[in-house]
Amino acid sequence: MTNFNEYPFKPFLQEAIAKLGFNEPTPIQKEIMPHILKGNSAIGQSHTGTGKTHSFIIPIVERIDAGKQEVQAVIAAPTRELGTQIYNELIKLVEGSGIEVKSFIGGTDKQRSINKLKTQPHIVIGTPGRLKDLVNENALLVHTGKILVVDEADLAFDMGFIEEIDQVAGKMQEDLEMYVFSATIPEKLKPFLKKYMESPVHVNIADKRPTAEGLDFYLVPVRSKKKMERLKEVMDVINPYLAIIFVNTRTNADYVADELSKAGIRVGRIHGDLAPRERVKMMKQIRDLEYQYIVATDLAARGIDIQGVSHVINYELPEDLEFFIHRVGRTARAGLKGLAITLFKPEDEDALVRVEKMGIPFQQKDIVKGEFVDLKERHSRKKRVRTENEADAKAKTMVHKPKSVKPMYKKKMKWKMDEIKKAERRKNRKK
């Protein structure tokens, strides 16, 4: 089906989809939705910004029986922000349908969560730890649930949440349908998938288009300058609507944010050391456009949908290069254009080559008089055909391995060759 209005969705759902302005489903939606509608367990691999969330919440809402006041679907999200985002999108879909959706995330009062469960919702969204706690307290009754979604499964694994998800899944129906969404499927995640998924359908959109159209990739060499100085030069050239500066560690996030603050730039920060209340406040300030720049770490920013990102700046390349695709996927969304700028040093060359193999078409740029200018291709030196020096060639023809080999013959051959080379160079200089 090429348009949403061709799907046999219930009238309230068709109306909600039309209100969202959705016309044609994205590739992940087109391929995953039919499997969820039929109840076939599936793994969906796709990167940020591909419409993944709606690929599972739309068919789940379609399948809910509002007449049964019981848990029918559970959605596990590894971060509070991602859980909140999924909840907000679901609320838009179920308006006027009688379908009840509830969100339970860590960092909130547990007793209040238990009180909210006097009646069981149809759809539950939550962080793995909080879901597990509520199930163990017999407050959340998931034994009636037949559908389990694990979103950002590789991140859930990295953060150590698979055990909690396993405990929740173990309390659900025996003929459980599981839908797992992830940019990558780490080898260590596979035993968990095998436990609950028998011959699942595997939809991989990640390889088909690693990045959005309308997204340019600039490589800017740091050279002899300090990286912070180079970053400020880049910031002087661009005038972003909103830019995310990515770093690898919490320490670096604080360092970059503090240095920019000293320079009079108001900058937000997202990293794992922020307390829950600070994170909520920061996300509100970002949504209210109080910042033009945000400094973020990969794990903290993963799964957070920040609207209107026009630029991404890689202050350093991610240690796990798969995260490069997640980072740049923050911009050029919903048909808009975007620019991803990566600062690099010579020691980053190997990593850059591997990123290029993912399908990233870098353009090398420098900054001259406050503007980006083209630089020669990074690989141009490697592409040159190396011609052998004439003196070397002559020395090789004149010195041969002796018929009877004696100790130190290799050194003696080298000495002879060096003498011939010196003589040839002297001749050439006289000419």
Buried b (16+ CB within 10 A) or exposed e, 265-285: eebbbbbeebeeeebbebbee
Q: Is the pLDDT assigned to residue 374 strictly greater than 80?
A: yes
**Predicted local distance difference test score (pLDDT) of residue 117:** 95
The encoded tokens of residue 158 equal: 């990295």
Q: What is the pLDDT of residue 390?
A: 61
Mean of pLDDT over the chain: 87
For residues 400-426, average pLDDT: 73
- Please say if the pLDDT value at position 39 is more than 60: yes
Is the pLDDT at 155 greater than 70, yes or no? Answer: yes
CA 188 → CA 1, 183, 185, 269, distances in Å?
36, 15, 8, 31
For residues 183 and 320, the answer to whether their CB atoms sit within 8 Å is no
DSSP state of 78: S
More confident residue, 265 or 420: 265
pLDDT at 295: 96
- Looking at per-residue pLDDT, the higher value among 233 and 158 belongs to 233
Instruction: Say which DSSP state 311 is in.
Output: E
Distance CA 39, CA 299 (A): 31
Lowest mean pLDDT among 134-138, 254-258, 327-331: 327-331
Q: What is the pLDDT of residues 65-88, one digit of tens each?
A: 999 999 999 999 988 888 988 999
Cα angle 255, 258, 260 (rounded to 5 degrees) comes to 105
Span 412-424, mean pLDDT? 77
State residue 329's pLDDT score.
82
Q: Residue range 192-217: average pLDDT? A: 79
Alpha-carbon distance 8 to 24, whole Å?
Answer: 15
E strand or H helix at 380, and its extent? helix 380-383
Helix (H, G, I), strand (E, B) or coil at 129: helix
Q: Is the pLDDT of residue 430 over 60?
A: no
Amino acid 337: pLDDT: 87
Q: What is the pLDDT of residues 332-354, one digit of tens each?
A: 876 788 999 999 999 999 899 98
Looking at residue 388, its pLDDT comes to 46
pLDDT at 201: 92
Beta bridge partners of 366: 373
Please state, in angstroms and rounded to a whole number, the distance separating the CA atoms of residues 34 and 111.
38
Over residues 234-245, mean pLDDT: 95
Give the helix/strand (H/E) hosting 101.
strand 101-104
Hunting for tokens 């219930």 — which residue is that?
10
Quote the CA–CA distance of 230 and 224 in Å, as a whole number.
10
- pLDDT above 90: residue 90: yes
User: Does the model's pTM come out above 0.85?
Assistant: no
- In degrees rounded to 5, what are phi and psi of residue 31? -90, -35
Beta bridge partners of 152: none
CA dist., res. 268 & res. 59, Å (int):
36
Q: Kindly list the strands in the beta sheet with 338-344, ordered across the sheet, starting from the edge strand earlier in the chain.
A: 267-270, 293-297, 243-247, 311-314, 338-344, 215-221, 362-368, 371-374
Q: What is the mean pLDDT of residues 249-257?
A: 94
What is the reported pLDDT for 143? 97
Using CA atoms, how far residue 111 sits from 69, 83, 129, 143, in Å, is 22, 19, 15, 21
Mean pLDDT, rounded, for 19-43: 94
Distances, alpha carbon 142 to alpha carbons 120, 168, 425, in Å: 9, 8, 84
Residue type, 243: A
Using pLDDT thresholds of 50, 70 and 90, give the confidence band for residue 393: low
Percent of the chain scoring above 70 in pLDDT: 88
φ, ψ dihedrals at 192, nearest 5°: -65, -45
Strands 371-374 and 362-368: antiparallel
Amino acid at 316: E
User: Which residue's structure tokens are 């008089």?
Assistant: 369
- Residue 400 confidence class, pLDDT cut points 50, 70, 90: low
Q: Element (H or E) spanning 30, and its range?
A: helix 27-38
pLDDT computed for residue 421 by the predictor: 76
Q: Which domains are assigned to the chain?
A: 4-204 (3.40.50.300), 215-382 (3.40.50.300), 390-420 (no CATH)
Residue 187: pLDDT above 50?
yes
- Contact indicator for 25, 1 with CB cutoff of 8 Å: yes
Q: Residue 20: pLDDT above 60?
A: yes
Task: Please report which residue ranges of 144-249 form alpha helices under DSSP H.
Answer: 153-158, 162-170, 190-196, 227-237
Buried-exposed string 133-150: b where 16+ CB fall within 10 A, e elsewhere: bbbeeebbebeebbbbbb
pLDDT at 320 over 60: yes
Q: In angstroms, how far is CA 323 from the centroid of its own chain?
A: 4
Would you state the pLDDT for residue 391? 63
Least confident of 157-161, 225-229, 336-340, 383-387: 383-387
